[in-house]
Structure 1
Amino acid sequence: MAIAAPLKEKPVQKPGTTVYSILVIIGICHLLNDSLQAVIPAMFPILERSMSLTFTQLGIIAFTLNMVSSVMQPVIGWYADKRPMPYALPLGLTSSMLGILGLAFAPSFLTVLCCVFFIGLGSAVFHPEGSRVAYMAAGSKRGLAQSIYQVGGNSGQAMAPLITALILVPLGQFGAVWFTLVAALAVLFLIYIAKWYTARLGDLQHWPAKKAQTETKNTSISKSITAALIIIIFLIFARSWYVSAIGNFYTFYAMDTYHVSIRQAQSYIFVFLLFGAVGTFLGGPLADRFGKRTVIIFSLLVSAPLAILLPFAGPVLAYGVLALIGVILMSSFSVTVVYAQELVPGKIGTMSGLTVGLAFGMGAIGAVALGALIDSAGLTPTMIAIAFLPILGILAVLLPSDQKLREWHN
């Protein structure tokens, strides 16, 4: 109580103020964090050769990274909603830095798994708290703020092909040691962010939390919120499984169908990820202008016919189709996070951890399930079948409108 009083008397930031400097810094940190995660799959060819790992062991490494970073996110977000942890951000990246350093010298499969666990843990801490910082700095432009934050992560993930070609191929496993410098830079940025975060804790505690207290008193609204969250989970499932299918298996489809080299096949993935980052950025401002529910519906339903077309496109047309799917489908990524945060106000960390963490977790499970489906049904039939996943976006029409959310909050 003694701390809260002076903060109320002298607020350091009004809710309507957008702090672009903080948004840019946290976006850069997101890029650095996710580029550290991108090192893991980028190292698969190196580890497979140097340690004679099987594809099953490589799958276990990927599963460990994604499950640790996803399952822990809502837990950490839930705890931080009750007790905000500004300095968890630099501590989380310190965990990732130690994991990357150990990975450069890891002598065995079990050691690699241990290092990957620390990297995943650091990512799990970073994402919900990073999303909270974006929310606090957003002011009235929450869609734009989440897009600035999220596009950093998508850009970091898209760097995997470059990391492989420019660093890991010539330097091998030891090349990962250079990414400790990336982690150290992120830690320095996040110490600055943590100081800003601490100074704004008063705003976070006495502004959104009060809304949540009145919101949960209405039983009918609580049931509607639960139903909307279930729909969001289905939408995340459809998007994550489709993205997992393209990111993990379209390379093999391109080599098998178009008879291209591994390097050429990777270029399709790079185009998809690059334009996905563009879509992630554009989605936020569009949501601020036209509404979050509108963007979510548009994203999935408009990408559905393109997804169905993709398996039948030629080797040249496929680049354009993948670019369009990336822009349109991923435009709802950051918007879904903001929608969930506004659906359950006062639970910023929990909702960002649930939506982003669920996306990672769904992607990890999807990779395993789709791989098994390819083994049993074949590559081409599976790629055709997953093209119908975005059609599940029709469920988005059942989501409460942005206007309805505002009525509930008020």
Structure 2
Amino acid sequence: MHAPAWSLLALLILAHAAVDVGAGALPALAQYLRTELDLTYTVTGLLVTSASLCGAAVQVLAGFVADRRRSLWMVPAGVALTAAGLALAGFAASPWAAAGALGVLALGPALFHPEAVRTAYQAAGSQRATVMGYFTLGGSVGWALGPTVVALLARAFGLPGLALWLAVGLPIAALLAFSQRREGVLQRGELTRGEGEDLWAAYAVLMAIALLRGGVHVGVTVFYPGFLIDRLGQSREAAAAALSLLLAGGVVAAPALGRLADRWGRRGVLGGTMAVLAVVVLLLPFLRPPWTYPAVLILGACSQGVLPIALVLSQEFLPGHTALGGGMQVAASSVAALLATPFGLVADAFGVPAVLRLAAAMAAVGALLAAWLPAARTRGVGAALATGSR
């Protein structure tokens, strides 16, 4: 097996961070647009929902196309579109213009991920698990930095300053296109089927937990920043910093939760983190700075840090459909974005604390559902991740 193509891989990791800066920036950007354009929470929720659904639909289509014909152009195009979407959002002068800009922003990650993941995997040579770990880390760092990038550029130059991200995205896109041409098209890898029968009932419970967890994430990331600004008198920059902490929590917690799951069991760790998530979300309306910041860090650790556990469980429950199982777990966040609109209606009618109470109830239901999951029947999380099952 060939050695890793490190020059191409380094660019892919950097590009993954640049693309997911746009994805992570979406909730913070929605709050800037809400205050700049004097939007209601309902309209803000609609903007986030429409952008998320647009991205989810295009990502499915992009994966369908890329599976049938190698589409390396999607990788640099995704980076360029992400930068273009951020730039357009900075000049949005109406809700319709904002919707269009966020739609372009959502197209970037949707085009990038299917082909970029496959390219990184095939360029990894004999070090696939190590390389895919670095590739995933790039995206996680981008997600965590997204709100801060928006805050820094908007504070220094106003929202039109978001166009400066073009100076980052376009050169990376150009370098990717050049590097891909130089490295050539890599050979397609083969998929293998796991052993055992598919446990569809168990997977349905796991999927319900993923949707509930995604709903909690939407309720907090889209509406809690507005609570910090409107009710607690915090600046938009402070609200964006809280979002970055929330996203960073998942990056920090994932390895630790994986080790705990290996030692104490996946079902217990998943249920326990959902229970902690319910308590923290319920307390959010009563916390004041600086206590809000450690709270959102814990919240992010619980809501996002369990994704590797969920992905491994999905492969254990559906050994005959590992790609479908893992893909649906990732797509759950986009489906859960549909809740942004009803959450917006609740926020306009009863206030953001009512949304947070609903989110806490969803997390509590998820904790109860975790108790219904069957015990794991294969290798632990750490072993599975180490062999590249993620």
The verdict on a shared fold, with TM-score over 0.5 as the criterion, is yes
1:290 equivalent in structure 2? 262
1:367 aligns with 2:340: yes
* Candidates 293, 310, 332, aligned match of 1:336: 310
Whichever of the two has the greater Rg, that structure is: 1
Contact 2:40 / 2:348 at 8 angstroms: preserved in 1? no
CA distance in 2, matches of 1:43, 1:246: 15
Q: What is the deviation of 1:45?
A: 5.8
Aligned pair partner of 2:18 in 2, 22, 32: 32
* 1:121 equivalent in structure 2: 107
- The 2-side partners of 1:386 and 1:401 are apart by 31
Out of 214, 217, 225, the residue aligned to residue 251 of structure 1 is 225
Match of 1:269 among 224, 227, 243: 243
Q: Is the 8 A contact 1:147 1:281 kept in 2?
A: no
By how many angstroms is 1:390 displaced? 3.2
Instruction: Kindly indicate which of the two structures has a greater share of residues assigned to helix.
Output: 1
Quick one: structure 1 residues 369 and 172, their matched pair in 2 at CA, closer, same or farther if it must change by over 3 Å? same
Cα displacement (A) at 1:387: 1.9
| Residues 54 and 106, structure 2, Cα contact 8 Å, conserved in 1 | yes
Q: Which residue of 1 aligns with 2:293?
A: 319
Whether the 8 Å contact between 1:31 and 1:156 is mirrored in structure 2 is yes
Tell me the CA shift for residue 237 of structure 1: 0.7
Q: Does 1:181 align with 2:167?
A: yes
Residue matched to 2:276: 305
How far apart in 2 are the matches of 1:260 and 1:387? 24
Name the CA shift for 1:28/1:168 in 2 (closer, same or farther; >3 Å): same
TM-score with structure 2 setting the length: 0.76
Give the fraction of aligned pairs with identical amino acids, expressed as a percent: 20
Q: Is the 8 A contact 1:308 1:388 kept in 2?
A: no
* Equivalent residue number for residue 328 of structure 2: 354
Q: Indicate how the Cα distance of structure 1 residues 238 and 44 shifts in structure 2: closer, same or farther if over 3 A, else same.
A: closer
- Secondary structure of 1:402's match? coil
1:91 is paired with a residue whose SS is helix
Indicate the SS of the match to 1:325: helix
Deviations 1:98-134 (A, max 9, x none): 4445445556544443343333222211123333345
Deviations 1:77-105 (A, max 9, x none): 24433434333212333333444454455
- Residues 1:387 and 2:377 are matched in the alignment: no
After superposition, residues 11-90 of structure 1 pair within 5 angstroms as 11-12=1-2, 25-38=11-24, 40-44=26-30, 47=33, 55-90=41-76
Aligned length: 374
- Displacement after TM superposition at 1:399 (Å): 6.9
Counterpart selection for 1:96 from 82, 85, 102: 82
Cα 1:46–1:404 change in 2 (3 A) is: closer
Opposite residue 345 of structure 2, the aligned amino acid is A
* Partner residue, 1:152: 138
Q: Which residue of 2 aligns with 1:221?
A: 197
Closer/same/farther in 2, CA of residues 198 and 67 from structure 1, 3 Å limit: farther
User: Which stretches in structure 2 are left out of the alignment for 5+ residues?
Assistant: none
5+ residue gaps, structure 1: 1-10
Moved more, 241-250 or 155-164: 155-164
1:368 positional shift: 1.8
User: Which of 371-380 and 190-199 deviates more?
Assistant: 190-199
Contact 2:8/2:180, CA 8 A, preserved across alignment? no
2:222 maps to 1:235: no
CA deviation after TM superposition for structure 1 residue 330, in Å: 1.9
Q: 1:12 to 1:188 in 2, by over 3 A?
A: same
Aligned partners of 1:152, 1:357: CA distance in 2, in Å?
19
Scaled by the length of structure 1, what TM-score is found? 0.72
CA 1:30–1:146: 2 relative to 1, 3 Å: same
Shift of 1:240: 0.9
CA RMSD in angstroms, aligned pairs only: 4.1
Q: What SS is found at the alignment partner of 1:261?
A: coil
> Does structure 1 conserve the Cα–Cα contact (< 8 Å) formed by 2:80 and 2:108?
yes
Question: What does the per-residue CA deviation read over 1:265-297, in whole Å, with 9 as the maximum and x for residues that have no partner?
Answer: 55443322222232246556x49x939x94575
Change (3 A) 1:19 1:393: farther
